[in-house]
Amino acid sequence: ASFPFLCFRSLLIFGLLLLVPFTQPSTITQPNFVLLLADDLGIGDVGCYGNDTIRTPNIDRLAKEGVKLTQHIAAAPLCTPSRAAFLTGRYPLRSGMDAVNDYRVIFWNAGSGGLPPNETTFAKILQHQGYSTGLIGKWHQGVNCESRNDHCHHPLKHGFDYFYGMPFTLISDCQPTETPEMDRAFRRKLWLSTQMIGLITLTAVLGRLTGLISVHWKTLTCLAVFSLLFFISWFSSYGFVRYWNCIMMRNHGITEQPMVTDRTTSLILRESIAFIERNKHKPFLLFLSFLHSHTPLLTTEKFLGKSRHGLYGDNVEEMDWMVGQVLDAIDKEGLKDTTLVYFASDHGGWLERQEGERQLGGWNGIYKGGKAMGGWEGGIRVPGIFRWPGVLPAGAVIDEPTSLMDIYPTVVHLAGGRVPQDRVVDGRDLLPLLRGAAAHSEHEFLFHYCGVHLHAARWHQKDTGAVWKAHYMTPIFRPAGAGACYDRGFCPCFGEGVTHHEPPLLFELSQDPSEAKPLSADTEPLFDTVIRKIGRAVEEHRRTLTPVPEQLSVSNVVWKPWLQPCCGTFPFCWCDKEGDN
């Protein structure tokens, strides 16, 4: 009787030993994380999402070796709020990082708004778990609060051990040869007002000299002083955007003011690879926040003119090459099987970004709308790819609603940390879904904001697989039917530029992903039921919101000279420490 038992035990032990290689990867604790976030990249710009004319072999390789999400949703359609949500796992209005006015992003390095110090980023939690944490590239979450060097919104205050990149965002003003982009319409009004005041002053002086009008010289002097002060009041900020906003920093120190755009790409890539090499013997988090593919589309000579889509296509193909270089660095250090790589874009492509005949913004495939549009899919549906060999299945495609906010709990869980319990976290751990252990996303509802205004909400009806989306407000496209707001350059969130819908526009995205055929009570038997269900979810969601300081209020957004990061003695801010090296 003992011999069969011994045989059975031997076979059992042998079988368990055979299983070890297959189960071991799933028990890896504290993997490395490489988070790759593109800027303004449209979902239709990537090969594995259907583009067959822009070459993205390295991003496509990530999808082939990992998991591709086809319904990956940004929490906001613009940089600042979307990235705040990504870093905190929370809708941006919970942290005050969404707009109550037309200033929907951080406008100046010298503004006082930014990601509040009391927000807990995933980097901060990983830092406490013993990770080396680095941010390379774009920040756009603010710098200072009350003084030039308090750095209250700086990456190093939000859990990153190392920062190299732009505290602001790339804009065309950073490239001297490009047409200025920042606040372009407002700047035109300021120039026009200055010219009118100057003309009135000059006319009054000439009238006084010729005796045509009787006015005291004291009055003319006051008018001239007012003209000069008005000009100085705005030109001191808008006249030097390149010096105030287009700077590069390493940790708290400024390395370039203004940045030298010809070498920015190579420096960001060099810093990213160096961070991996420096930290290969311990768990690390690298957040590579690309400046690609935001205007002015900084592209090195090697890639200029090589794509079939002009400068924008060249820029996307160069970014894909950078992705490949980072993946090669991971492979070279033998970290491929212990590193979770994630690729996404912060929101949809910018349809209205054009200069003459040149299209400088991205393409959002079959999805309606684009950047700045909080409700339409084109503004918020983005690429989302995860790769972790041996843990996540290769070549998998998941068509479940997921969010950029989900990165937060996913990364925190894998690092052995705990999601904060003292606040609402809207993200959900994606690991069960990514590994195939769960059939459905944990998101039953997702809410789509444009600034602080709720434009739409979606309901994932898990028993049927239907994805219903109700639009409460939509932007008015101009020209009519053009699919974007070409007259403004951006679609607005409120006011005369939007249409309110009562009852809401309803779409079933699994049948109509392009949102081309709105349903009605006449065409959809479940119309009233679905609208009521989503409406109750919106009410419940709103009860979870609490008032917080508005980080993008006018008083926080305006340029404040005493907060301006300066390499030198303000206002003589200039340095090139990379060139010196």
Q: Out of 239, 259, 281, pick the residue that ends a domain.
A: 239
| Domain contains 533 | no
DSSP letters of 343-392?
EEESS---TT-EETTEE-S---TTSS--TT-SSSHHHHEEEEEEE-TTTS
User: Are residue 43 and residue 107 in the same domain, yes or no?
Assistant: yes
- Amino acid identity for residue 478 in this structure: R
| Domain contains 331 | yes
Rounded CA gap, 172 and 138, in Å?
A: 15
| Domain contains 527 | no
User: Are residue 279 and residue 353 in the same domain, yes or no?
Assistant: yes
- Mean pLDDT in each 10-residue stretch from start to end of the chain (581 residues)? 47 43 51 98 98 97 98 98 98 96 95 98 98 98 97 98 98 90 86 91 87 85 91 93 97 98 97 98 98 96 96 98 98 98 98 90 97 98 98 98 98 98 98 97 98 98 94 96 93 97 97 97 97 98 97 97 96 92 61
pLDDT the model gives residue 525: 97
- CA 497 to chain centroid: 24
User: Are residue 221 and residue 258 in the same domain, yes or no?
Assistant: no
**Is position 154 annotated as part of the catalytic site?**
no
Cβ-based neighbour number of residue 70 at 10 Å: 15
User: Are residue 329 and residue 217 in the same domain, yes or no?
Assistant: no
Question: Residue 293's closest CA among 25, 42, 22, 569?
Answer: 42
| Domain contains 103 | yes
Q: Out of 216, 239, 262, pick the residue that ends a domain.
A: 239
User: Are residue 388 and residue 266 in the same domain, yes or no?
Assistant: yes
Question: Residue 30's closest CA among 156, 127, 119?
Answer: 127
Contact status, residue 407 vs residue 452, Cβ threshold 8 Å: no
pLDDT the model gives residue 22: 36
User: Are residue 188 and residue 166 in the same domain, yes or no?
Assistant: no
User: Are residue 216 and residue 343 in the same domain, yes or no?
Assistant: no
Model confidence over 535-561: pLDDT tens digits? 999 999 999 999 999 999 999 999 999
pLDDT the model gives residue 581: 61
| Domain contains 115 | yes
Question: Residue 91's closest CA among 74, 107, 79, 104?
Answer: 74
Cβ-based neighbour number of residue 526 at 10 Å: 16
| Domain contains 24 | no
Here the CATH number for the domain that contains residue 308 is 3.40.720.10
Cβ-based neighbour number of residue 211 at 10 Å: 7
Helix (H, G, I), strand (E, B) or coil at 375: coil
Q: Which domain holds residue 218?
A: 184-239
User: Are residue 300 and residue 399 in the same domain, yes or no?
Assistant: yes
User: Are residue 318 and residue 412 in the same domain, yes or no?
Assistant: yes
Rounded CA gap, 80 and 135, in Å?
A: 16
pLDDT the model gives residue 251: 98
| Domain contains 394 | yes
DSSP 8-state symbol, 360: -
Contact status, residue 402 vs residue 444, Cβ threshold 8 Å: no
Q: Which of 7, 48, 72, 79 is catalytic?
A: 79
pLDDT the model gives residue 182: 86
**Is position 152 annotated as part of the catalytic site?**
no
Rounded CA gap, 187 and 235, in Å?
A: 9
| Domain contains 304 | yes
| CB proximity list for 202: less than 8 A, separation 6 or greater | none
Q: Which of 7, 72, 128, 140 is catalytic?
A: 140
Model confidence over 426-482: pLDDT tens digits? 999 999 999 999 999 999 999 999 999 999 999 999 889 999 999 999 999 999 989
Q: Out of 220, 239, 258, pick the residue that ends a domain.
A: 239
CA atoms within 13 A on the CB side of 449: 23
Task: Name the percent of the chain in helix, strand, coil, to the closest 5.
Answer: 35, 20, 45
Q: Number of folded domains in the chain?
A: 2
User: Are residue 200 and residue 279 in the same domain, yes or no?
Assistant: no
User: Are residue 162 and residue 202 in the same domain, yes or no?
Assistant: no
User: Are residue 211 and residue 289 in the same domain, yes or no?
Assistant: no
CA distances from 210 to 206, 214, 217, 218 (A): 6, 10, 13, 17
